[in-house]
Amino acid sequence: MSDMSDMDDMDMPEMSHPAARNVRPAPQQVRQKTPRIVHKAVDAPAPRVDIGHHMHGMDMGRWFHGVLDEFEGRYQTGGRSSLRWDGEAWYGGDYNRLWLKSEGTMTKGRVRDGDQELLYSRAISTYFNLQGGVRLDLDSGPARAWGAVGVEGLALYQFEVQATGYFSDRGVAGRFEGSYDILLTNRLILQPQVELNLYSRADPRRQVGSGLADIDTGLRLRYEVWRKMAPYVAVTYDSPLTQGRHMARKRGERASEARFTFGIRSWF
């Protein structure tokens, strides 16, 4: 009995020995310990992190960013040299942005493939954005207007991809773009790139065929003199496909063009 009394007098919250767990303290001891346990719970609450407020604050900043991916001259004998541009700019925060995209090609003073897009973008994951808005085909040909919806971002292994669908009273269209940066050195970068366009209906006035309409691809080697300015040399290839190829031959044009190219990539 004396051993039990000594054990009851010890202020231990739990006994490690199995037999000791069956020893019940006297009622008087329970009444004394209960207020202390409640008092500790009140004085030392568990820490709480307001995650919702923190994430809401992440989109409070606003920034402007622009990239001129391609500003290049494509050279070929026979007067088929051309100037091409492809760039984009956005304004917004981490989750919501307003995008402006523009691309086109000028040959012998005439602009073709003029594509201007105004899009709203919403981040749907760490690496991808959902985009929607309007596209205007503005160049030397007849103007066309489209609704646009698509996704863009970084796929596996840091591939930059864009997939966009377009719709209007003239049918539907689609575009896929992809590129990948291969770092040869810290400043010397090799970039394969491809763009594919398809249309559900032909548009002869804009020299566009139905189906898989055209391809524009290139292999660019750029050197970042400084991070915001990088001259490059490249071999580019562009060609109408399927029905568009037949339309080009009827006009007496070469269906495909592989050309030496040099240009500048810049961002701000």
Q: Per-residue confidence at 13, pLDDT binned at 50, 70, 90?
A: very low
Of 20-29, 153-162, 235-244, which has the strongest mean pLDDT?
153-162
Tens digits of residue pLDDT in 63-83:
999 999 999 999 987 667 899
Amino acid at 96: N
- The sign of the CA dihedral 263, 177, 224, 115 is positive
| Threshold 0.95, pTM exceeds | no
pLDDT on residue 79: 66
What are the structural domains, with CATH classification, of the chain? 2-48 (no CATH), 65-267 (2.40.160.40)
CA distance to 173, 193, 248, per residue, from 242 (Å): 15, 21, 10
How is residue 19 written in tokens?
A: 């037999």
Q: Per-residue confidence at 95, pLDDT binned at 50, 70, 90?
A: very high
Tell me: pLDDT of 26 over 60. Answer: no
Identify the DSSP state of 205. G
User: Are residues 91 and 123 in contact, defined by beta-carbon separation less than 8 angstroms?
Assistant: no
Name the average pLDDT for the chain.
Answer: 82
For residue 126, report the phi and psi dihedrals to the nearest 5 degrees: -60, -35
User: Are residues 39 and 226 in contact, defined by beta-carbon separation less than 8 angstroms?
Assistant: no
Of residues 86 and 243, more confidence is placed in: 86
